[in-house]
Chain A
Amino acid sequence: MLDALAAQLLLLRKRAATWILLCFWMLVTVVFAYVLPYFAYKGDIRFRARTGGVLLSVMLPHNLVSSLLGGFPAFGGIFVLILAVLAMGSEYTWGTLTPAFTQKASRLKVFFSKVLALAIAIVPFVVMVYLLGYIASMLIALKEGQSTQPPDLWLLVRALAFSWFILAVWASFGVMISVLSKGTSLAIGLGIIYGLVLEGVISAFSRQITLLGYLSKIFLRTNSYSLLSPLGVTFTGEGPGGFSGSTVSATQAAIVLAIEIVVFLAVAAAIVRRRDVTGAS
């Protein structure tokens, strides 16, 4: 298994798309969590006079978790979904399952080594964002002469773990839809439509229409946000990826998400194991 894992890590590590996605995701997060708020705080005097104090405190190191966490169910999920679809779906578009499945390792071993490699690959998608966010918040605190008190360690540990967990759900989802669609294009398209549009629209109506309310209870973002709520994050319903649906308890959310990971991977694994491998699609 370790050899197969090393092969899959090599595939991810040497792929430019992996690094582009990581850098872009880091950039998006820091720009939205620190750069834009900071310039708003600096530039707009009336703004500063009214709410400046509140705004600035959000950007300080001890508020690291609440500043960053909200990005994971929204954009982070999409970035990782694309990562997973590229990793799995490209095997179909390039026809590389043929050589991969004719070496020695069984199909399931190849599949789960890829899943494991993705689980490892999303660690920097969590850690690097928090690291960069911490640096940004330290710079702001020093520049403004504010407290550089670090975030609560236990809160940070939970935030890192939950962030990884949420990305893992999205990655599993990406793996499943790329196996189902035997490729990348359709899977990325549908994944993004689901993540950015469909779920948001349905969630927005979920209070009016009971049936949609039930449906939204199994949605990835409903549960992701619900899981994060106890960590002191509030979400607004503005912009793409915004969330205004109902929430469930954190425990229920954790269970639903864990079941979803299992279901997504089980469906994908069952198909990978049984389906005929013909040429590139």
Chain B
Amino acid sequence: MNGDINDMKQPMDNFIVETKNLTKRYRPDILAVNGLAMRIRRGEVYGFVGPNGAGKTTTLRMLLGLVRPSAGECTVLGEKPGTPAALARMGTLVETPAFYPYLSGRDNLRVLARLSDTPYSRIDPALEEVELLKRAGHKFKSYSLGMKQRLGMAAALLKDPELLILDEPTNGLDPAGMAEMRRLIRSLGRGERTVMLSSHLMGELEQICDRVGVVKNGSLIAEGSLDDLRHGAQLRLKAEPEARAREVLEKIEGVAGAEPVNGYLVIDASPARAAEINRILVEAGVAVSELGPVKLSLENVFLNLTGEEA
């Protein structure tokens, strides 16, 4: 549906979020976001992943017009961030949910509904969606962390937004709550709605996201579907006889490693060279029964990506 070829033909405004060289320097010595370039397509669920302090929240705040970029630009829903036109079509949850502690959950949503021209009739369905209806009349300060998080989610859903921006939405939830939140996000991401969510857990994004962007030190260091990212620069193969195979492999230029792992030989080589390597082995009299790219676990992908650079 969202094939790359198709996308290239489509107009620019089909990117729901687009940033160019987005930069934020809080103080001369704190460069929180550094030349970030990112594009989010209509209808996709986009994971924004990076270690603590990578600049995720700062980026999201810039997309909401809460924080002014020091340089670069961004458009959200084709509008300037923070304008009523953009905000009216997006629902957000940034960092820990912030609400008025002395108001009930429902009254908190009433305040937000008034500020967004949303009818009160949408409040209870939103509370129902996050299973908070029973406690809706209780004061926010009496809520557990998970309940606060769910109220934040209800607030984000209030406007029935085209774009949802969620900053670590599973923060503070128990395992059941996390699973439930993932299910909710996945169901929200179906159809036309675009969802952007940040996380520092790659694995968490696995069942949810169509694409992810990996951010480190304020820059986007990788972007693509999870499958794209998982296919690292490693190949694994089954070959007989193994000793002869290693001998041959070590002589091929640009190939390194050839370590036996779980009955496979794993080599550092681009998956694009698979056919060539296969031919060389066969010509050298080695029988190759399997040859393909190594699928890394998402956590490994993440660690490889974020750990390598200084």
Contact = CB atoms under 8 A, between A and B. Distances in A.
A99 B99 contact: yes
Contacts of B92: 99, 102
B61 A103 contact: no
Contacts of B88: 104
B87 A10 contact: no
A15 interface: yes
28 contacts: A3-B115, A7-B110, A7-B112, A7-B114, A10-B103, A10-B107, A10-B110, A10-B111, A10-B114, A11-B103, A15-B102, A90-B100, A99-B92, A100-B111, A100-B112, A101-B82, A102-B66, A103-B115, A104-B116, A106-B84, A274-B68, A276-B66, A276-B68, A277-B67, A278-B61, A278-B66, A280-B96, A280-B98
A6 interface: yes
Contact of B115 (A7, A16, A95, A98): A7
A15 B66 CA distance: 26
B110 A103 contact: no
A94 B115 contact: no
A279 interface: yes
Interface string A1-38: 00110110011001110000000000000000000000
B155 interface: yes
A98 B66 contact: yes
A105 interface: yes
B165 to A, nearest CB: 9
Interface string B113-153: 01111000000000000000000000000000000000000
A96 interface: yes
B94 interface: yes
A15 B102 CA distance: 7
Contacts of B57: 279
A138 interface: no
- Size range of the interface on A? 20 to 34
Given A15-B102, A94-B100, A98-B95, 4 more contacts: A4-B115, A10-B111, A276-B61, A277-B61
A110 interface: yes
A274 to B, nearest CB: 8
Contacts of B110: 7, 10
Interface in A222-281: 274, 276-280
Given A3-B117, A6-B114, A94-B101, A102 B107 contact: no
Contacts of A96: 98-100
A95 B99 CA distance: 8
B112 A103 contact: yes
A172 B97 CA distance: 29
